[in-house]
Structure 1
C-alpha cells in the first residue's frame, strides 16, 4: 500500500469511528455555558469531548511528518458581501455565496472564516503571529474541512483590512455590509499543505475534522495584527497531544 492509499484508509477509519460532524467552528457552544481561553480545561466545564484523543491544534513537527503526494485542494471562490460578527471569541465572517473547496473527490461548502492570535498550530515548536481558519462543510454528511493559514508580519493585506474596517461595534450581532471580499486574492501559488484529523479548537471540541494547513504563510501588517490584538490578545487554544495520529506533508 503506498503512502497516499494509507492516508485515505486512515481518514476513512477515523470518519467511521468518530461519526459525521455537523457543527461549525466557533458557533457551536450552547449560550448558557460560558467558556474562555484563560481556563482552557473545557472538559471540566461540560464539554467532555475536549478531553478526546483526536484534538486540535497540534505542533507540526516537520522531521516526523509523512511526506507524500497528497490530493490537490480545488478552490472555487468568488466575491461575496461581508457578513460579519464579533462572537465574543473572535472576529468571524460568514458566507452567503457559493464558495467551496473540492478535496479528495468531495465538495465542501465554505461556511465562515475567523482569526486567532497567536497561531493555534505550531510549526516545529514555534507559533506564527496569527492564524486564519476557513471552515468548510460537506452538505451531504456534515463533515468539516478547515483550511488554515499561518499569518506573519509583513506587508498589509487588503482582504484583512476590509474585514477589520467593518468590525461590529456590538458583540454577538451580525451585520451585513455592501463591501465584498474575494478569497481568491489570498490563495498562494504554492498550495501544498500539512494535514491530519483533528477537532474543533473551541468547545465542544467535536472530533473527526480534516485540517489542511497551507505551508505558504500569508502576510499581514504589524498594524493589522495590533488592531486585532487590541480586541483579542489571547484566543488560541494550547496545542494538544498528537497521540497515535499521523500527520502528512504534501511535498509535490
Structure 2
C-alpha cells in the first residue's frame, strides 16, 4: 500500500473512532417511538440525529470516488443456526456470536443481517432490486461496520431461500430454528468495495458508521424478490447528501 493510501485509511479509522455509535441497543433493540418509511422525516418524530450531515444511504457517484488501494475485508464466517425476527420494518437474522469481520487489524463481531427493497444506496443514480446489510460491531468501542451488497435479479440464492422459508408468522418475536446457514457461501471472489462514513439508515440514525458497499452484486431470484416484496414493498430510506464526505473506491 502506498503512503497516500495509508493516509486515507488513517482518516477513515479516525472518523470511526470519533463518531462511532457506542451502544449495542442501537443495533438490536426495537424502537420505542413508532416510525415508518412513508414519512421518513424522522428528525421531526423525536430522532434528531436523522437531521445530521453524516447520514446514509447515499448515491455512489463513481466519477467522484477517490480510487486507492485499501485493506482487504477479512470475513471470519462459519455456519450458525438461524435466529430470525420480522421486526416490523424488515426481516432480520441475528447471529449466535461466532462470526466476525476484520478490517485494518480490528475485528468486528457480526451482529445481524437484514434486507431492503429496493436498494438504499444508489450506484450512479440507479437503484438495485434489493440490498443486504451485514452489521458488525467492535465489542470494545461499540463502533459499527456495515457491509452492504446490491442484490440483482438472477439465480435463486440458497442462503436467502433458507432465510425466507423460516419467515416468522408473528412480528417482533425472535424465532430460533434448526436451519443453519454459512455466510461464506455468499461472498464473491472479488471483494473490492466502496467505503465512506455514514449512519444507521433507520432511527435513531446514529452517525459514525463505516459503510462498505461491495462492488460485486449478489444474485437473487425474481421469486425471492417477490416473496420479500409481499411483506415489505418499500423499506428503503431516501438517499442523503454526501456533503463534505469523501467516497473511497478500492481498486486493487
TM-score range, shorter chain: over 0.9
**Alpha-carbon separation, structure 1, partners of 2:46 and 2:161:** 37
Partner of 2:74: 74
1:8 corresponds to: 9
Q: Pairwise mapping of residues 213-224 of structure 1 onto structure 2 (< 5 A)?
A: 213-224=213-224
Which secondary structure state, in structure 2, belongs to the residue aligned with residue 74 of structure 1? strand
- Distance in 2 (CA, whole Å) between partners of 1:212 and 1:222 is 25
Aligned match of 1:141: 141
CA distance in 2, matches of 1:2, 1:242: 25
Q: Cα distance, 1:29 vs. partner?
A: 5.1
Whether the 8 Å CA contact 2:148–2:213 is kept in 1: the answer is yes
Give the secondary-structure state (helix, strand or coil) at the position aligned to 1:211: strand
Whether contact under 8 Å (2:20, 2:144) holds in the other structure is no
CA contact (8 A) 2:30 2:87 kept: no
Q: Tell me the CA shift for residue 17 of structure 1.
A: 3.8
Aligned pairs for 1:42-53 within 5 A:
42-53=42-53
TM-score by length of 1: 0.96
- Please identify, of 89-98 and 4-13, the stretch whose mean Cα deviation from structure 2 is larger: 4-13
SS of residue matched to 1:49: helix
- The residue correspondences of 1:173-188 to structure 2 (distance < 5 A) are 173-188=173-188
- Other-structure match for 2:163: 163
C-alpha offsets along residues 5-55 of structure 1, whole Å, 9 cap, x if unaligned?
332232244235425432466634532x10000000000000000000100
* Consecutive unaligned residues in structure 1, runs of 5 or more: none
Structure 2 unpaired stretches of 5+: none
- The 5-angstrom pairing of residues 126-137 of structure 1 reads 126-137=126-137
Q: Aligned-pair distance for 1:4?
A: 1.7
Q: 1:200 to 1:139 in 2, by over 3 A?
A: same
DSSP 3-state at the match of 1:57: coil
Cα shift at 1:156: 0.3
Where does residue 246 of structure 2 map in the other structure?
246
- 1:87 lines up with 2:65 in the alignment: no
What is the CA distance between 1:121 and its match in structure 2? 0.2
Structure 1 stretches of 4+ with a deviation exceeding 3 A read 23-30
Q: Residue 230 of structure 1: SS of its match in structure 2?
A: helix
Q: 1:88 to 1:26 in 2, by over 3 A?
A: farther
Counterparts of 2:20 and 2:157 in 1: how far apart (Å)?
Answer: 38
Alignment deviations for residues 64-117 of structure 1 (CA, whole Å, 9 cap, x no partner): 000010110000100000000000000000000410000011000000000000
Instruction: Provide the aligned C-alpha RMSD in A.
Output: 1.4
User: Given the two structures, how large is their TM-score scaled by the length of structure 2?
Assistant: 0.96
SS at match of 1:229: helix
Per-residue displacement from partner, 1:160-212 (whole Å, max 9, x unpaired)? 00000000000000000000000000000000000000000000000001001
